[in-house]
Amino acid sequence: MRVKKKKHGAERMAACGDIVISDLKIAEKNPKNLFPNDNEVRIEIGCGKGDFIVGTAEKNPDVNFLAIERVHDVLVMAAEKIKASGLTNVKVCCCDAKELTELFDAKSIDRIYLNFSDPWPKSRHEKRRLTHRNFLEIYKTILKDDGEIHFKTDNRGLFDFSLEEFKEMNWMLDKLTFDLHNSEYMENNVMTEYERRFSGLGFSINRVEAKKPL
Ligand SMILES: C[S@@+](CC[C@H](N)C(=O)[O-])C[C@H]1O[C@@H](n2cnc3c(N)ncnc32)[C@H](O)[C@@H]1O
C-alpha cells in the first residue's frame, strides 16, 4: 500500500492516547497485560486503515483485539477510526510480523487474522509473503494450542501458495471457499478496505481457516 507521508503523524497518533501501544516489549510479552480483563486476545496483521478490526470488535465486545501494521502512516488512520468508534476492546501497535515472537509469550494469542496480505508475486520474494512457512512457524509459536489463522485474499496465486504452505506445515484447513461473497460464510463476514475495492471490481474473494498443528 502506497501512502503519502501524513502531516503531523506522530501528534495524531499521540492524540489517540491509550489505544496505541508504543512499545509492546514494555507489556512483558503477555498480551493480557494490555487489556483490563482476561478475555481472549486476537491480532490482525497488516490491519491497513482499520475497517475490519473496528467491525469485528463491534461484533465481539467480549474479545480483545490488537491491530498490527508496519507502516506508521497507515496505522494512524486505523487508530483514529478506532478512537472515533469509542471501542475499548481494540488497541494498535506499529510493528512487523517478523518480530512477533519477541513481542508475545508463546501460546498467548487466540487467533490471527490475515486480510489481503501483500501477494509478493515474484518467486524470489516468496519469503516475504505472510503465509510463507517461516511466518507460519512464528504464528505457531505465539498461538495457543487451539489457535487459528483466518485468512482471506482476492489474489488466487497467493491463496494457492498459502494452501500449500498450510498443508505442508500440517495446519488443518476448514471453511475453505474460493468465493466468499457467494458462500454460507458471508453471513458473519466483515469487509476490509481492499475487499470492498476488489470485490467491487468483480474479483471473487478466497477465504480459509487454518488450525494450528499439534
Ligand atoms: C494490501 S494491504 C491490506 C490492508 C487491509 N488488511 C485490507 O484488507 O484492506 C496489506 C497491509 O499489510 C501491511 N503489512 C505488510 N507486511 C507486513 C508485516 N510484515 N507486518 C505488519 N504489517 C504488514 C502493509 O503495510 C499493508 O498495510
Q: What is the pLDDT of residues 76-123, one digit of tens each?
A: 999 999 999 999 999 999 999 999 999 999 999 999 999 999 999 999
Host H or E run for residue 113: strand 109-115
The total of other beta-carbon atoms located within 10 Å of residue 122's CB is 8
118 labelled catalytic: yes
> Cβ-count burial of 118 within 10 angstroms (0-12 exposed, 13-18 middle, 19+ buried)?
middle
pTM of the complete model beyond 0.85: yes
> What separation in Å is there between the alpha carbon of 154 and the centre of ligand 1?
14
Ligand 1: lining residues by beta carbon, under 6 Å: 1, 45-48, 68-71, 74, 96-98, 115-118, 192-195
pLDDT band at 54 (very low <50, low <70, confident <90, very high): very high
Pairwise CA distance, residues 152 & 46, whole Å: 12
Mutate to test the pocket of ligand 1, among 24, 69, 114 (most ligand atoms within 8 A of CB): 69
Per CATH, the number for 9-211 is: 3.40.50.150
pLDDT, one tens digit per residue, over 113-158 is 999 999 999 999 999 999 999 999 999 999 999 999 999 999 999 9
Residues with Cβ within 8 Å of residue 139, at least 6 apart in sequence: 100, 112, 147, 149, 212
Going by C-alpha positions, the residue among 117, 109, 32 that lies closest to residue 69 is 117
